[in-house]
Amino acid sequence: MKTTAYITALAATVIVSAALVSAGEKTQTFPAKRGGTLEVRVEGGSVTVKGWEKDEVTVRAQCIDEEQLEGVTFSEGGGKVLVEFRARQHNVEDMHFEASVPSSFNVQIWTAGGELDLPGPLTGTLRGETAGGEVTLGKLGGKIRFSTAGGSIKAADISGDLEVRTAGGDIDVKSVTGTAELSTAGGRIKVDNAARTLKAETAGGEIEIGKVGGDLKASTAGGSISVGSIQGETSLNTAGGAIAIAQGTGRLAATTSAGDIRLKEFSGAANLRTAAGDIAATLDPAVGESSSMSTSAGSIRLTVPATAKASILARARGWGDEEAAQISSDFPMTRPEKDRAEITLNGGGHRIMLETTVGSIAVLKGK
């Protein structure tokens, strides 16, 4: 009876072991101190790194084909945990690597093809690169830099500096407290809140920005740009699309080759230029600064406060079309002509140049 029971138990153990092996999984745990480093270098497969409050690192490799596990190695030394994978076969799409590390830890990831996911919470120097896959970033802090050769990038809650690049995909950032540099060769960029300096570039897509607490530079080779709130030094440029700013302060330069420019409420200096489109701006001019608004084919509508100190020069050429060349103003005009007028508000001050080649100009009195 004892022999039979022993054989039965042994058989059960073998069955369980076979199930674990057939699942194609390898796991190992290392003791670790905060401030250490996890380095992942794999020839394919997705990678997930989570933060926890334990002083240890647990790494796991999972795949359908257990033969691939022969190419997976885990090692530790000098405060670094290293995960490596050399592919034994070409098909590595199902490979997945997962690690749990102390919440204050450095991470370096490279994969030849797969998604990167860091949900957090995690703070440190966090870097990752994939040759093809999406990048998802959660609650992270420190210095964050990630790139993908083909996929979208999403970042939720970044407490620190953020630099992300993709060669083909959208970029979506909810919040970043440090400086942010975002670049995509073909996709849309959306940022809800950037507390400091923001640089956003796309070779083909729209740019939508909520609030920026510092300087802003945004450019697209083809798409519209919209901004909710800005302050500081702002530069917006699109080769084809409209530009819209809800409110802001500081210095603004906005240029589009084809599209309207809308500046709803701005205090400071604004230089707006479109090659083909209308300009509508409400401007409270800053003392000692200058502004300009020009379009080659469109009208200009400028609203300024009645108490503003400004010297406005308006030119509407019209190209022989008397109706198109009209200049109108709620304020008295000095030496008004059909295509030229000067407007001096409260003794003069902030210089504003308004110019259209084909279109009209209107200067309106605001509150």
Q: Give ∠ CA 313-315-321 in degrees, rounded to 5.
A: 160
Contact by Cβ (8 Å): 199, 208:
no
Please, are residues 140 and 160 in contact by the beta-carbon 8 Å criterion?
yes
Residue with tokens 């809650």: 157
The predicted structure's pLDDT at residue 69:
83
Compute the half-sphere exposure of residue 275: CA atoms within 13 Å on the CB side of its CA. 8
Q: Are 158 and 172 in contact (CB under 8 A)?
A: no
Compute the half-sphere exposure of residue 261: CA atoms within 13 Å on the CB side of its CA.
Answer: 34
Residue 12 has a pLDDT of 36
Q: Which fold has domain 24-125?
A: Pectate Lyase C-like (2.160.20)
**pLDDT of amino acid 288:** 77
CA atoms of 345 and 159, how far apart (whole Å) = 46
Is the sign of the CA dihedral 262, 344, 354, 337 positive or negative? positive
Side-chain-side CA neighbours of 184 within 13 Å: the count stands at 24
Reply yes or no: is the peptide bond before residue 121 cis, omega within 30 of 0: yes
Per-residue pLDDT tens listing for the chain (367 residues):
444 444 344 333 333 322 233 358 999 999 999 999 999 999 989 999 999 999 999 999 998 677 788 889 999 999 999 999 988 776 677 789 999 999 999 999 999 989 999 999 999 999 999 998 999 999 999 999 999 998 999 999 999 999 999 998 999 999 999 999 999 998 999 999 999 999 999 998 999 999 999 999 999 999 999 999 999 999 999 999 999 999 999 999 999 999 999 999 999 999 999 999 999 999 999 877 899 999 999 999 999 999 999 999 999 976 545 554 589 999 999 877 778 899 999 999 999 999 999 899 999 999 8
pLDDT for position 317: 77
Q: What is the CA radius of gyration of the chain?
A: 30
Q: How far apart are CA 15 and CA 44, in angstroms?
A: 30
Say what the pLDDT of residue 90 is. Answer: 67
Indicate the domain borders of the chain: 24-125
